[in-house]
Every structure is written in structure tokens, then in C-alpha cells.
Amino acid sequence: MISGLLQYEFLQNAFLTGMIIGVIAPLLGVFIVVRRLSLIADALSHVTLAGIAASLLLEKKFMLFSGLNPLYMGMAFSVGGSLFIEKLRTVYKHYQELAIPIILSGGIGLGVIFISLADGFNTDLFSYLFGSVSAVSRADLWTILIISILVIAVVVSLYKELFLLSFDEEYARATGIAAKSLHFIFIVMVALVIAASMRIVGILLVSSLMTLPVAASIRFAKGFKQTIFFSILFGEISVLGGLFLSYYLDLAPGGTIVMIAVLILVLAIWYKKQAAARSI
Amino acid sequence: MNMTTNDYIVQVEDLYYRYDKENVLENINISIQKGSFLAIVGPNGSGKSTLLKLMLGLIKPQKGSISLFGQDISRFREQHKIGFVSQKANSFNTGFPATVFEVVASGLTKKLGLFQFLRKSDHEKIKQAIESVGMEQFLDRNIGELSGGQQQRVFIARALVSEPELLILDEPTVGVDAKNVNSFYEMLDSLNKEKGITLLLVTHDIGTISDKVTNVACLNKNMHFHGSAEEFEQLKINEVSEIYGHDVHVLTHDHHHHHHEEAHIHD
């Protein structure tokens, strides 16, 4: 593996990308989970699929688009979907969760239409659905790196505002925090991170990388910063362990990454139970 | 005239608020003097929370004026001078992974401003605020592990950390054990007397008003009484119960026939 890492550019791309998304997906995931927006990640990943499918369709039908990286269109769709969710949440004030199934099914519907219009793809759609060790290009890596730097910079500089908005939105508004703009920035970041993570984890499993490490971490973490720390730690273990296994066992990395995250979650729940039993 | 505006932290004049074609608040006049401890009492649905929201600038009145620290509310930008403790039950997720320290630190968010981080002196302030509500031994506990009364103290500390001159508490004793209500008021009293913080407390439960309160206002759509705590005690008991009767006999009473009583807070 080590020699492979030194030898093959595709492996370097996959591992570096994996290390990056192992940080940013759980980082945003903490805010998503505590704000009870876990399903938004799912909805946006399905919209991303529509973007990927649209891009692949254009690539197939028009020479002009042959060089277009599907990642860009996936991102554009994801960000568009996030804005649409926000719009729907204000339309259905009393049924805010309705926005999620609407966007989710809309994304799948659109994706399926594009896929059938293209009459199947040359590119392996499978790798977009479940992730791939070999599909990450240098261009993908650079795009994902830029997004991550942006996201980390925003989270660090707006940390206390994001914390307050997540903890107590009413109080945040009462103290004069620009809750609406902050929420907008947040949801766009989520959309970008989902599109960025999709190459490795796959569209169908992206949301689990944002939620499972956090679910494990809040079982025992003291405080918010510790929750973030453990979420990122578990995210990294899942991604790197998952990539390693998928390379050796020739499996789609999405599956191995998620199963390691599930294992960590089970251990965290078990650990908490043991700790509770000992304290009695 | 200028002297008095400086003395009053909050001045509400001829305030009306309408929601769905119905007046929630009518002809409200209330002034809060610096250093006082005012309790606004009124039954559920009397417009208390609406009045607080108006004072905090969360909603705008159709008629009337509110001035804070001598400035019209539309021009008021010193939100850090006002600490707000909302009814905790409906505003936060008890499973939230945040320590007492982190929750109290979040009270500095607006005062510090965008792109600013906590400094060492801020850490001291946060610890002091936590000490002033007697929660120093719970610094690193997650907020969800505390009892209702303890959580309420933490939220007061969060409001205190930005060193407000006015502290507004919405139904603070809801969720506090009856046996702890007294010590809760002791704590408020020391904030009021020792730190000179003006307190505004809103409650539906007339029985929980303590002798620490200096002024009382009775609200039920109109302001039925606004005066010192001594004057309030002298009110005939049936007058008070009449105010409270409104939510029960709302159809048989005509609110407009109650004339507005105005008593001065200080002579």
C-alpha cells in the first residue's frame, strides 16, 4: 500500500481527498446534527446526482462539454438545491421538514430522466453512487482542497455565531445576530461539501459521513469543541480505514467507509453503556 | 425633561400591537427606572411575551413608541446593554453537546463582533458570570445534564456575561423547583442590589413574585396597574383577581371600560 501510494497518482489523489473530506464532512456534520437537519444532507446529495447526470448527458451529446468535470455541475445543482430548500422552508413555515422530501425526490427524478436520456453512460455511474478509489483526478483534488480551505476558514471565523445559531436560534436573533444570512452561508457550505465528498464516498452515502461520526461523538464528548474533535477523528479513521480496505478487497469505498463509521458508532454506544454501568 | 429620560432605561408610550385584526396590547405606558426590579404580571395570553418581543425589537408595534436608554428603538444599536433570558423550555435542545462554559461564552457573541475570538480577559468574565449565579462547580458539565433550575442559572449567566444594564427574564421560575425559587430570587436580588443591574421579570404566576421586587405592573392587554411594590400590596385582593379573571371570563368583560391607572414609580 505504501509503495502503491508513492507509485500511483490515483492512489495519492484518493487518499489526500479522503483525508480532506474526513475533516470537512464531520465538521459541518456537527452543526447539521445538532440543528436536526441530518436529512438535508441526504436531499442535497440526491440533487448533486442530478447535476452529475446532467453533466454526463451534456458530455455525451455535445462535443463542447467533453472536457467538463461533472463535479462542477454537481456542485452547482447542490448549491441550487440548498437555496431551494431554504425557499421551501419559508413557504411551508409550519411543515419545514417537507422541503426535504420535495428536494430529495425532485433530485432523483431529474437524475433518472437525465440518465435515461443519455441511454446509459460510458463513465461508470456506479463510481458516483458508491465512491471510487481510482476515479479521483488531480483536478478533483485541487477543487476539493480549495473548497475545504474556504469552508474551514468560514467555520473558524464565524464559529461563535454558528454555535449560537445552532444552540439557540431565538436568542441569537434577540441579540441581533444576522441569523438569516448566517443560515444561508451555512447551507451553501453544506452543499459544497456534499459535492466535494461525493467522489470518495459516493452520492448515496455522503450524508452518513456527515452524521455517523457525530452520532458516535455526542455519546460521550464533553462540550461542543470536543464533539467536533472526536467527530473529525472518527471521520478520518472511517475514511482512511475504508479506503485501505476497499483498495485491498477491491470494494467500493463508500461501503467500507460507512461500515467503519457504523462500527465506531456501535463501539461508542457500548462504551457509554459500560461507563454508565460503572458509575452506578 | 432630559434628566428623566436618563433615569429611565425603558420608556414605552401609547403602545398598540395588533395581530390578526385583534389588539394584543392596547395603550401601554410603562417606564423602567434605572436600578429598579420590575415584575410584569398577567395571565396567559395577556400579551406579556408580545410586550417583551416589542421591547427587544423582535417585532414592531403598529402604534406608539419604545425608547431604550433614551434612544428610539429603531436607532438603538447597543443590544449588549440588554440581557435576555427566554422561557428556556421552548428554545433549546437539551441534548445539545455544549458545556456550561461554552453556553455562557456564547453570550459574548454579539459584543465581540464578527471575526473576533475570546481573549483571556473574556475567559475571566465568563467565569465571573458563572460564579455570580453560583454555578462555578459545573463549568465543564454538559448543559443537558443539569436540572431545570440550574439550566436557568446558566442562561442568566449567559445574559450577564456581556455586562448588561438591564436584564429581562421571561417566566424564569418555570421549571425551577418550588424549594429553589427563594434562593433563585436571592440571587436576582444580589444582581440587582450589588451589581446595580436593572431587572425586568415577566410572570403569569402572581404567587411567585417575591418581596425583592421593587415595582409591579399588571398587564392584561391594557396596563391595569403600574406602581411600586408597596402600592401593589395595598391593592385590594379582588382587584388583582379581577385582572386575572379576564382570561376566564373574557367574553363578559369589556376591556375598554377599564381605565388606565398610572402610578409614578418614584415621587
Give the whole-number percent of chain A exceeding pLDDT 70: 98
Decide if B98 and A157 are in contact by the 8 Å CB cutoff. Answer: no
Average pLDDT over residues B232-242: 66
CA quadruple A191, A194, A195, A196: dihedral sign: positive
Query: What's the mean pLDDT when you consider all of chain A?
Result: 90
Model confidence band, residue B242 (pLDDT cutoffs 50, 70, 90): low
Query: Looking at beta carbons, which residues of chain A come within 8 Å of B158?
Result: 171
CA dist B264 and B256 (Å) reads: 22
Q: Which of A65-79, A176-190, B127-141 has the lowest mean pLDDT?
A: A65-79
**What is the pLDDT at residue B2?**
45
- Neighbouring CB atoms inside 10 A of B37's CB total 24
The whole-number average pLDDT for the span B13-29 is 91
Write B227-234 long-range contacts (CB < 8 A, 24+): B227/B261, B227/B263, B227/B264, B227/B265, B228/B263, B228/B265, B231/B263
Lowest mean per-residue pLDDT among A194-208, A254-268, B19-33, B246-260: B246-260
CB contact under 8 A, A221 and B97: yes
Per the model's pLDDT, the better-predicted residue between B27 and A1 turns out to be: B27
What residue in A sits closest to B111 (Cα-Cα)?
A: A175
- What is the Cα–Cα distance from A17 to A47, expressed in whole angstroms? 22
- CB-based contact B30:B9 (threshold 8 Å): no
Contacts of A34 in chain B (CB under 8 A): 93, 96-97
Closest to A81 (Cα-Cα) out of A39, A18, A142: A39
What are the start-end ranges of the E strands in chain B? 8-19, 22-33, 37-41, 63-68, 71-72, 82-85, 166-170, 198-203, 215-220, 222-228
Q: Strands B37-41 and B215-220: what pairing?
A: parallel
Q: Is the CB of B108 inside 8 Å of chain A's CB atoms?
A: yes
Contact A160 B101 (CB under 8 A): no
Confidence class of residue B260 from pLDDT cuts 50, 70 and 90? very low
Of B91, B103, B82, B94, the residue nearest B153 (C-alpha): B103
- Residue of A107, A147, B43 lying closest to A155 (CA atoms): A147
Integer angstrom CA distances of residue A214 from A16, A225, A262, B121? 22, 12, 11, 32
Please indicate whether, in this complex, the C-beta atoms of B98 and A163 are within 8 angstroms of each other. Answer: yes
Grid cell digits, residue B241? 383577581
DSSP string, A193-238: HHHHHHHHH-GGGHHHHHHHHHHHHTTT--HHHHHHHHHHHHHHHH
Q: Does A216 touch chain B (CB under 8 A)?
A: no
Contacts A226 to B, Cβ<8 Å: 97
pLDDT for the residue numbered B243 = 65
Tell me the pLDDT tens digit for each residue of A108-146.
999 999 988 887 766 567 888 888 888 888 989 999 999
Query: Is A180 in CB contact (< 8 Å) with chain B?
Result: no
Residue of B nearest to A32 (CA): B96
Residues of chain A with pLDDT > 90: what percent? Answer: 54
Residue A41 grid coordinates: 444532507
The mean pLDDT of chain B is 81
Query: Which of A130-144, A172-186, B220-234 bottoms out in mean pLDDT, i.e. has the lowest?
Result: B220-234
The pLDDT of residue B164: 92
**CB contact burial A156-191 (16+ within 10 A = b; e otherwise):** eebbbbbbbbbbbbebbbbbbbebeebbebbbbbbb
Distance from C-alpha of B7 to C-alpha of B3, rounded to nearest angstrom: 6
pLDDT tens digits, B110-155: 888 888 888 999 999 999 999 988 899 999 999 988 888 888 889 9
Among 1.10.3470.10, 3.40.50.1240, 3.50.50.60, 3.40.640.10, name the CATH number for the domain at A10-208. 1.10.3470.10
Strands B37-41 and B198-203, bridge-based pairing: parallel
Q: Does A220 touch chain B (CB under 8 A)?
A: no
CB–CB contact A224 B99 (8 Å): yes
| Contact yes or no for B84 and A175 at CB 8 A | yes
Smallest CA-to-CA distance from A190 within A41, A52, A43, A74 is with A41
From CA B222, how far away is CA B16, in angstroms rounded? Answer: 9
Number of alpha helices (DSSP H) and beta strands (DSSP E) in chain B: 9, 10
Q: How many CB pairs under 8 A join A and B?
A: 80
pLDDT at A66 over 80: no
Max CA distance (Å), chain A: 69
Q: What angle do CA A38, A39, A40 make, to 5 degrees?
A: 95
Longest Cα–Cα distance in chain B:
60
Contacts with A, B 47-106, CB within 8 Å: 56, 58, 79-80, 84, 86, 91-93, 95-99, 101-103, 105-106
- Whether the predicted model's global pTM rises above the 0.90 cut: no
Query: Mutate which of B104, B110, B139, B152 to disrupt the A interface (most A C-beta within 10 Å)?
Result: B110
> Given pLDDT bands bounded at 50, 70 and 90, which one contains residue B246?
very low
Give me the domains of chain B, ranges plus CATH numbers: 2-257 (3.40.50.300)
Residue A218 touches partner B, C-beta closer than 8 Å: yes
d(CA A240, CA A257): 8
Q: By the 8 A CB rule, do A144 and A17 touch?
A: yes
ipTM above 0.95, yes or no: no
Cα–Cα distance measured from residue B205 to residue A169, given in angstroms and rounded to the nearest whole number: 27
Nearest residue to B45 via CA among B64, B22, B12: B22
* Single-letter amino acid, residue A90: T
Contact B102 A163 (CB under 8 A): yes
Question: Could you please report the per-residue DSSP string of B80-110?
Answer: GGEEEE--GGGT--TT---BHHHHHHGGGHH
* % residues pLDDT > 70 (chain B): 84
Do residue A167 and residue B114 have CB atoms under 8 angstroms apart? no
Q: What is the pLDDT of residues A23-41, one digit of tens each?
A: 999 999 999 999 888 888 8
A162-176, A237-251, B62-76, B250-264: segment of lowest average pLDDT: B250-264
* Segment A210-216 mean pLDDT: 96
Q: Which of residues 105-164 of A touch B (CB under 8 A)?
A: 157-158, 160-161, 163-164
Query: Is the per-residue pLDDT at A164 higher than 90?
Result: yes
Cβ atoms < 10 Å from Cβ of B236: 8
CA distance A95 to A77: 24
The sheet with strand B166-170 has its strands ordered as B82-85, B166-170, B198-203, B37-41, B215-220, B222-228
Rg of the Cα atoms in chain A: 19
Determine the 3-state secondary structure of B223 from DSSP: strand
Cβ atoms of B69 and B81 closer than 8 Å: yes
* CB contact (8 A) between residue A175 and residue B108: no
Half-sphere exposure of residue A140, counting CA atoms within 13 Å on the CB side?
Answer: 29
Looking at residue B223, its pLDDT comes to 82
Considering only residues B30 and B222, tell me which one the structure prediction assigns the higher pLDDT: B30
β-strand B198-203 against B166-170: which pairing, if any? parallel
Residue A121: the pLDDT is: 67
Q: Is the pLDDT of residue B233 over 80?
A: no
Chain B residues within an 8 Å CB radius of A161 = 109, 114
Tell me the C-alpha to C-alpha distance, in Å, between residue B260 and each of B27, B219, B252, B253, B256: 8, 11, 19, 15, 9
Hey, are the CB atoms on A167 and B103 less than 8 Å from each other?
yes
**Contact yes or no for B109 and A177 at CB 8 A:** yes
CA distance, residue B234 to nearest chain A CA (Å):
36
Tens-place pLDDT, residues B51-105: 998 998 888 999 999 999 999 998 988 888 898 888 765 567 778 999 999 999 9
Domains of chain A, residue spans: 10-208
Cβ separation of A222 and B140 shorter than 8 Å? yes
Predicted confidence at residue A130, as pLDDT, reads 86
Contact A43/B at CB under 8 A: no
Q: What is the pLDDT of residue B91?
A: 62
Residue B1 has pLDDT above 60, yes or no: no
Task: Tell me what the mean pLDDT of segment A99-106 comes to.
Answer: 90
Residues of chain A by 3-state class (helix, strand, coil), percent to 5: 85, 0, 15
pLDDT number for residue B257: 38
| Closest Cβ opposite residue B109 in set A164, A169, A227 | A164
Q: With contacts defined as CB-CB under 8 Å, which chain A residues touch B56?
A: 174
Residue B201: beta bridge partners? Answer: B39, B169
* pLDDT over threshold 60, residue A267: yes
Contacts of A224 in chain B (CB under 8 A): 96-99, 102
Say what the pLDDT of residue B111 is.
Answer: 84
pLDDT of residue A174: 78
Interface check for A67 against chain B (CB to CB < 8 A): the answer is: no
Is residue B67 classed as helix, strand or coil in its secondary structure? strand
With a pLDDT cut of 90, the percent of chain B lying above it is 36
8 Å CB contact of B93 and A163:
no
